[in-house]
Every structure is written in C-alpha cells, then in structure tokens.
Amino acid sequence: MKNKKLSVQNTDINIKQFNKIDFISLTDIARAKNPDEPKDVVKNWLRSRTTIEFLGLWEQINNDNFKGVEFDSFKKNAGLNSFTLSPSKWIESTNAIGIVSKAGRHGGTYAHKDIAFEFASWISAEFKLFLIKEFQRLKEDEISSKSLEWDLSRSLSKINYKIHTDTIKEYIIPKLVDKKSKYFTYANEADVLNIALFGKTAKEWRDENSEKDGNIRDYASVEQLIVLSNLESLNSLLIKQDIAQYDRLVQLNQIAISQIKSLVDNKSVKKMINV
C-alpha cells in the first residue's frame, strides 16, 4: 500500500502499514517539538515512568508474546537520571509490537495509533487533538473510497449477470418444460459460479451465515467481484458451445483460481483497492 501522510499544524506526518495496521511516525510528530533532533525527543519520552507503564499495559493487552520480566526491569529504573532507552532497545528487549523502528534514510520510529496519540499528548494537548482529527478524516476518506470501489464492482457484476441469465434463457431453458425446472436451472447455474469462485453454493453459505443479511456475493471482496464478472461472461460463452455443466464448472474453477492469484499479485489492482 502507498504510504499516507497527514499535515498537522504545518508538520507532515507519515503513516505506514505493518501487518496491515496503520502506524504513525513518532519521528515526524517529534519534529513539532524539535525539528533538528526528533530522535532525542522520542528517547526523552521513553525515559518517563508514565510512558513505560503505558507501553507495558498496551503490550500486555495486545501482545501475547510480550516479555514481562524485561518490562519490569525497565519500569523499575524508569525516571532515574541514569535511565536511557531507545525504541530499538525497547522492541528487542520486550518483543514489543506497538512500536516499530527502522534504520536508514527512509526509516524512523512508528507506533500504533494508540501509542502515537499518547506521544502526541506529551508534545502538547493541542497537537494531539489536531492529530486525532486529521487521522479520523483520513480513515473516513478511505472508507468512502472503498465503498465506492465496492459499489462499482458490484454494479458491474449485476450487469454481467443479466447477460449470463439471458444466455441461460436462450440456450438451456428452451429445452426444459415446467416452471419449476426453470427455477432450479437458474439456481443451478448461479451455483456453478458460486462453487467455482467461493467453493460453496448459495444455500450452503446461508446455512453457515444465518445471522447475516444478504447473500454470498454481498460479502465478496473487490477481487472476487471482478473475477465473478469475468466468470459470468465466460460461462455464457461455454453454454453457447454446449459444454456440459460439470466440465464448465471445472474450467471456471481453474480460471477463478488463476485470476484471483493474478489480481492479488497485481500492483495496479492493489493500488485501485487501497486508494
């Protein structure tokens, strides 16, 4: 995902994702207090007993592999004139996950938003407030953008489904007689696509997700909806070629696997989804 950036009181603050979670740059926040030596600001914050207690509590809540013994040692010495602590030492000693420290030109110290907001409050209450507001605005924009992408893909899927059902009418339903058979044919062909892409029928999904509204396709990812749109067109073509349903299912499943893999690894699609 492309790095994101906030502007808070004329200070640019970078955001990176680690394990698909947003981490805010403490180094950038520290520049609001000391533009020349932001690393020293972070280290001074880490010397505080209040900071160590907060970080330790956060890790105990969120990190099953947090090393409590090492934390107790830091907690005992925190606040003493002789006590010093760097982000990298904190991470290495306690196996912390709430802070990430990267060396190099494009490195710096990043922290989970909970910790970043706490650090910002140490800089100033005003700065913390504006940081929270800007971060919330960013997340609202992301949600709005993803919702639009999902709606566009869903609409595309519905348009192609009309082509798909028209082909079923022309090439399969005319061979059948009673209305009941027509109904099951539509359901059957829809489930050919469901099985090819999702590995289960619509009924199987409903049975597994009785507490949810909608259907299996309403909960599909953007990648799945793109592939579904393609499968609908391909299945229409295979029906016209009079290929047996099971043979079509095998082909469509192979195509679905191939296309999903391609989309997952495609940088352009990732950029579109993660705008």
Write the pLDDT tens digit of every residue in 159-207. 666 666 666 555 444 454 455 544 445 567 888 888 888 888 888 899 9
Q: Does 180 share its domain with 208?
A: yes
Give the total number of structural domains in the chain: 2
Report the pLDDT averaged over residues 92-119: 91
Q: Left (φ > 0), alpha (ψ -120 to 50) or beta: where does 108 sit?
A: left
The pLDDT mean for the chain works out to: 82
Assess whether pLDDT exceeds 50 at residue 156. Answer: yes
How far apart CA 116 and CA 87 sit, in angstroms, is: 13
Predicted pLDDT of residue 42: 95
How far apart CA 207 and CA 228 sit, in angstroms, is: 22
- Full domain range(s) for residue 107: 4-123
Residue type, 151: D
Q: Does 206 share its domain with 237?
A: yes
134 neighbors 144 (Cβ within 8 angstroms) = no
Q: Does 213 share its domain with 106?
A: no
Q: Name the one residue in this structure whose structure tokens are 């940081």.
A: 131
Predicted pLDDT of residue 256: 86
Report the pLDDT averaged over residues 126-131: 92
Assess whether pLDDT exceeds 70 at residue 98. Answer: yes
Share of the chain above pLDDT 90, in %: 38
Does residue 132 lie in a domain region?
no
Does residue 131 lie in a domain region?
no
How far apart CA 173 and CA 178 sit, in angstroms, is: 10
Per-position b or e across 148-162, b if 16+ CB within 10 A of its CB: ebbeebbebbeebbe
Predicted pLDDT of residue 165: 62
Does residue 130 lie in a domain region?
no
Does residue 240 lie in a domain region?
yes
